[in-house]
Amino acid sequence: MKEEFTISIFTEDKTGVLARVISNFTKRHINIESITASNSSITEIYRITIVVTVEETMVKKLVAQIDKQIDILKTFYYSNSEIVYQEIALYKVPSEVFKNGGIVESLIRKHNARIIDIETEYIVVEKTGLPQETEALLEEFRSHGIYEFVRSGRVAIAKPMEQLNKYLKSIKQ
């Protein structure tokens, strides 16, 4: 049965690593639903977070294949119950929408969003949350008018203590 998994890949900062990682998904015809890259808690080690919906047997094979690559330190996968995650979304809405009796302002409060930029033609609103929460605000803005929408990839932290630190300690011994 297909399920959503978050894959955390810890790597050295080398040119081409991301392209090599992505090629593993392409070869297997696996669609990437979300991807982010950032520093990790360990200096000079970077983290790539990828979200996919596949069967667990496939994610196990994928993780094993990624682990074999040069410059990959370790790869882990998690189900949604094993992580804490969020995304950030930005919405550019017309300024005149705010003149409609405070409807949009009440939407912003209702969705725990915040205004981060006000210009004469538009206002930029930020919403942090789960994908379904950012999508819900998008749907509400669509009915009142929206110029642009962008959502980040998933940012996730595993509920168990960070496995990379344990792994690095084990190979140093």
Q: Quick check: do 3-83 and 85-151 share a fold?
A: yes
- pLDDT score at 159: 87
Domain boundaries 85-151, corresponding CATH code: 3.30.70.1150
Give tens-digit pLDDT for 4-28.
999 999 998 889 999 999 999 999 9
Task: Check whether 99 has a pLDDT greater than 90.
Answer: no
Contact 66, 18 (CB under 8 A): no
Prediction pTM value: 0.86
Q: 146 falls in which pLDDT band (50, 70, 90)? A: very high
Beta bridge partners of 6: 51, 78
Nearest to 40 by CA among 129, 160, 150, 158: 158
Domain boundaries 3-83, corresponding CATH code: 3.30.70.260
Compute the distance between CA of residue 156 and CA of residue 87 in angstroms, rounded to an integer: 9
Pairing of strands 34-39, 45-54: antiparallel
Distances (CA, A) of 49 to 27, 84, 108, 138, 155: 19, 13, 29, 24, 7
Domain ranges of the chain: 3-83, 85-151
Task: Check whether 97 has a pLDDT greater than 60.
Answer: yes
